[in-house]
Amino acid sequence: MLYRNCKHTADNTVWLPVHICLAVKGVFASDSGIVGDPKGDFATALLQEVPTGNAPFFALSSGMKSTPAIDTVVHWFEESHLSGRTTLAESGFDDSETDMTVADASFLVAGAILLVETTGEQVLVTGVSGSVLTIVRGFAGTSASAATSGDGIQKIGTAQAEASEKPTAVMNVGDPIFNFTQIFRNTWNVSGTTAAVQYYTGNKVAKSKRDASLFHAEDIERSLWFGRRSNGTVGGMPFRTMNGLDAMITTNVDGAGSTTNWQELEDFLRAIFEKNIKGEPNERIAFCGNQALSVINGIARIEGTIMLDPGATEFGLDVTKWITPFGRISLMTHPMFVESPLWTQDLRILHPAAVDIRWLRRTHLDDYDQDGRRAGTDADFGVYTSELSFQYGVETTGGRLTGLTAAAAVP
């Protein structure tokens, strides 16, 4: 259960519950630990204390997948799909040449049948040397035709002769990616004087602990979004910071113009939905600010029709899911983006299955509560400590669209 529509009064805040259901298991659902026994995720437990806005502040640090880390550097491998398509990399390719230079021949072996997209000619590959293919022109009754650099070359299958030697093996080798772990520490502290003075909060130690735990989780959340990887020393001791989501998503990044229309938004989303994670639903979550959400609702208002029946007492739109021919995207306002005049115009889109919080040390509390007698210090205090890293796999499944300021109709 999430919360939205807060009503502020002079001394309290009332939160109204609202159910948000997603098809991706484990994301903001009952099994994320919000209901029933906690699963041990520190921020999940905090979600019960201070839910805020349409999306919880701890949207990344709770409800997402998490796995242990065993070192201060976390590694993972990503394999790109071998699409079977390349392009011609030579000009003046006439109808008599039997060698073809292509941009990428790493997935091609003897026996591959290729189609030149612009001419319809099929060729049979009989040898591969680097990026140069030895070919049979006009294969299977097609006509040998001239082509030019940049023309698409599509693999349409393979064929081998009877009793042929085994073909060359092709293996997809993943690219290594790494991130550092980052240490987060926040202290709670109650002086002897504070403990003696009567406050509205009642138990001062409990209040200080709760505040420190919330600040701790917020620090983690901010780094998961905006952190940048670094490695050095502070005071002669190792010091590391991690890459967050913004640093990892590099492909689908674009800035909106002064106005944004339906077609421009769908063009951006189409690129994000072109790649998926094997075995996962092709769905996304977009965290955004109020301005970005307003623009999207404005586009829906411009392109749609609002029907009012006699006696209607409600008017307006509440678009929180954008349906495209390629996939669906759930829109959730995040308090960190809402409070920023710049980020409130942004969409940050992610694939929930691509997120993995890598914990080297789960959050623990060192409680130095000795009734003000610890090492002569006139205070009770303790420290929350966490060490973790962030992994976002297949970054082409995410994206950032910035500067959504006004809605427009498609020209």
pLDDT at 15 over 60: no
Using CA atoms, how far residue 275 sits from 302, 356, 359, in Å, is 30, 18, 27
pLDDT category of residue 205 using cuts at 50, 70 and 90:
confident
The pLDDT assigned to 316 comes to 74
Q: Within this chain, do residues 126 and 239 fall inside the same structural domain, yes or no?
A: no
The pLDDT assigned to 234 comes to 94
Instruction: Name the residue type at position 366.
Output: D
User: Of 324 and 9, which is predicted with more confidence?
Assistant: 324
Q: Within this chain, do residues 274 and 358 fall inside the same structural domain, yes or no?
A: yes
Instruction: Name the residue type at position 13.
Output: T
- The Cα 238–Cα 230 span in angstroms is 11
Q: Averaged over 304-326, what is the pLDDT?
A: 81
Partner residues linked to 187 by β-bridges: 383
pLDDT at 362 over 70: yes
Q: Within this chain, do residues 115 and 252 fall inside the same structural domain, yes or no?
A: no
Angle formed at CA 393 by CA 220 and CA 388, multiple of 5 degrees: 25
Q: Other C-beta atoms within 10 Å of 42: how many?
A: 22
Q: Which of 23-27, 117-121, 278-282, 380-384 has the lowest mean pLDDT?
A: 23-27
Q: What is the mean pLDDT of the chain?
A: 81
Task: For 343, list phi and psi in degrees, rounded to 5.
Answer: -70, -20
- The Cα 48–Cα 36 span in angstroms is 11
Contacts of 235 (CB under 8 A, 6+ apart): none
Partner residues linked to 155 by β-bridges: 114
**What pTM does this model have?**
0.72
3-class SS of residue 319: coil
Q: Within this chain, do residues 273 and 148 fall inside the same structural domain, yes or no?
A: no
Contacts of 56 (CB under 8 A, 6+ apart): 2, 28, 47, 62, 63
Q: Within this chain, do residues 258 and 297 fall inside the same structural domain, yes or no?
A: yes
pLDDT category of residue 203 using cuts at 50, 70 and 90:
confident
Most confident residue range from 98-102, 217-221, 256-260: 98-102
Rg value, the chain, Cα: 28
Q: Within this chain, do residues 148 and 280 fall inside the same structural domain, yes or no?
A: no
The pLDDT assigned to 186 comes to 93
The pLDDT assigned to 241 comes to 97
- The Cα 193–Cα 91 span in angstroms is 83
For residue 275, being part of any structural domain is answered with: yes
For residue 116, being part of any structural domain is answered with: yes
For residue 40, being part of any structural domain is answered with: no
pLDDT at 50 over 60: no
The pLDDT assigned to 305 comes to 81
Q: Within this chain, do residues 384 and 268 fall inside the same structural domain, yes or no?
A: yes
pLDDT digits (tens, 9 = 90+) for 369-410: 666 666 677 888 889 999 999 999 889 999 999 999 999 999
For residue 128, being part of any structural domain is answered with: yes
Q: Where are the alpha helices (DSSP H) in 250-334?
A: 262-273, 290-303
User: Of 83 and 339, which is predicted with more confidence?
Assistant: 339
For residue 44, being part of any structural domain is answered with: no
For residue 74, being part of any structural domain is answered with: no
Q: Within this chain, do residues 152 and 193 fall inside the same structural domain, yes or no?
A: no
The pLDDT assigned to 5 comes to 39
For residue 63, being part of any structural domain is answered with: no
Share of the chain above pLDDT 90, in %: 49
For residue 1, being part of any structural domain is answered with: no
Q: Within this chain, do residues 131 and 192 fall inside the same structural domain, yes or no?
A: no
Q: Other C-beta atoms within 10 Å of 252: how many?
A: 21
The pLDDT assigned to 243 comes to 96
pLDDT digits (tens, 9 = 90+) for 63-110: 678 889 999 999 887 766 677 899 999 988 999 999 999 999 988 999
- The Cα 298–Cα 280 span in angstroms is 31
pLDDT at 38 over 50: no
The pLDDT assigned to 22 comes to 35
pLDDT digits (tens, 9 = 90+) for 151-201: 999 999 999 989 988 888 877 766 788 999 999 999 988 887 777 776 555
Using CA atoms, how far residue 369 sits from 8, 189, 208, 353, in Å, is 35, 9, 12, 40
Count structural domains, the chain: 2
CATH of the domain at 101: 2.40.30
The pLDDT assigned to 4 comes to 36
Q: Which of 10-14, 208-212, 264-268, 363-367 has the lowest mean pLDDT?
A: 10-14
The pLDDT assigned to 9 comes to 40
- The Cα 232–Cα 168 span in angstroms is 45
- Of 59, 74, 71, 57, the closest CA to residue 391 belongs to 74
Q: Within this chain, do residues 154 and 257 fall inside the same structural domain, yes or no?
A: no
> Which among 158, 175, 206 is the end of a domain?
158
pLDDT at 40 over 50: no
The pLDDT assigned to 59 comes to 77
Domain holding 130, by residue range, is 85-158
Q: Within this chain, do residues 147 and 200 fall inside the same structural domain, yes or no?
A: no
Q: Within this chain, do residues 196 and 317 fall inside the same structural domain, yes or no?
A: yes
- The Cα 240–Cα 121 span in angstroms is 55
DSSP annotation of 102: B
pLDDT category of residue 278 using cuts at 50, 70 and 90:
confident
Cβ pair 64, 28 in contact under 8 A: no
